[in-house]
Amino acid sequence: MNIRYFAWVRERVGVEEEELEIPGGVKTVGDLITHLKSLDENHAAAFEEEEAIRVALDQVHVEADADLGNAREIAFFPPMTGG
Amino acid sequence: MNIRYFAWVRERVGVEEEELEIPGGVKTVGDLITHLKSLDENHAAAFEEEEAIRVALDQVHVEADADLGNAREIAFFPPMTGG
Amino acid sequence: MSVTPLVRVQSEDFDAQAEAARLTEGRKDVGAIVSFTGLCRDESGTLSALELEHYPGMAEAELTRIASEAIDRWPLTGLTVVHRFGKIPPGENIVLVIAASSHRRAAFEAADFLMDFLKTRAPFWKKEHLVSGDSSSWVEAKSVDDKDAERWLKSGSTD
Amino acid sequence: MSVTPLVRVQSEDFDAQAEAARLTEGRKDVGAIVSFTGLCRDESGTLSALELEHYPGMAEAELTRIASEAIDRWPLTGLTVVHRFGKIPPGENIVLVIAASSHRRAAFEAADFLMDFLKTRAPFWKKEHLVSGDSSSWVEAKSVDDKDAERWLKSGSTD
Of C52, C120, C58, give the one whose Cα is nearest residue C84.
C52
pLDDT tens digit sequence for D116-151: 999 999 999 999 999 998 889 999 998 888 888 999
Residue C35 is inside which H or E element, if any?
A: strand C32-39
B4 touches chain C (CB under 8 A): yes
pLDDT tens digit sequence for D70-124: 999 999 999 999 999 999 999 999 999 999 999 999 999 999 999 999 999 999 9
Calpha distance C94→C88 (Å, rounded):
7
Is the domain defined by B2-77 classed in CATH 2.30.30.90?
A: no
pLDDT tens digit sequence for C102-133: 999 999 999 999 999 999 999 999 999 999 98
Identity (one letter) of the amino acid at A65?
D
- The shortest C-alpha distance from C89 to chain D (Å) reads 10
Domains of chain C, each with CATH number or no CATH: 6-132 (3.90.1170.40)
Q: Tell me which of C41, C116, C128, C155 to substitute to probe the interface with D (most D C-beta atoms closer than 10 Å).
A: C41
Question: Cβ contact (<8 Å) for A82 and D83?
Answer: yes
ipTM for this prediction: 0.94
Calpha distance D103→A49 (Å, rounded):
45
Burial of B14 (0-12, 13-18, 19+ CB in 10 A): middle
Chains with ≥3 CB–CB distances under 8 Å to B: C
Q: Where are the domains of chain B?
A: 2-77
Q: CA D68 → CA C142, D78, D148, D154, distances in Å?
A: 30, 11, 19, 19
Identity (one letter) of the amino acid at C72?
D
Region of residue C44 (phi > 0: left; psi between -120 and 50: alpha; otherwise: beta): alpha
Task: Find the DSSP H helices in C25-157.
Answer: 58-73, 104-121, 143-154
* Structure confidence at residue C159 (pLDDT): 37
User: Residues of chain C whose C-beta is under 8 A from some C-beta in D?
Assistant: 16-17, 20, 24, 27-43, 45, 90-91, 102, 104-105, 107-108, 111-112, 115, 148
Nearest CA in chain B to C112: B83
| Residue D102 near residue D32 (C-beta atoms within 8 A) | yes
Calpha distance C138→B8 (Å, rounded):
7
pLDDT tens digit sequence for A17-67: 999 999 999 999 999 999 999 999 999 999 999 999 999 999 999 999 999
- The shortest C-alpha distance from D81 to chain A (Å) reads 11
Instruction: Give the one of B4, B59, B81 whose C-beta lies nearest to C124's C-beta.
Output: B81
* Structure confidence at residue B13 (pLDDT): 98
Identity (one letter) of the amino acid at D131?
V
pLDDT (mean) for C35-59: 96
Of B11, D86, A81, give the one whose Cα is nearest residue C137.
B11
Length of chain C: 159
Rg of chain D over all Cα atoms, to the nearest angstrom: 16
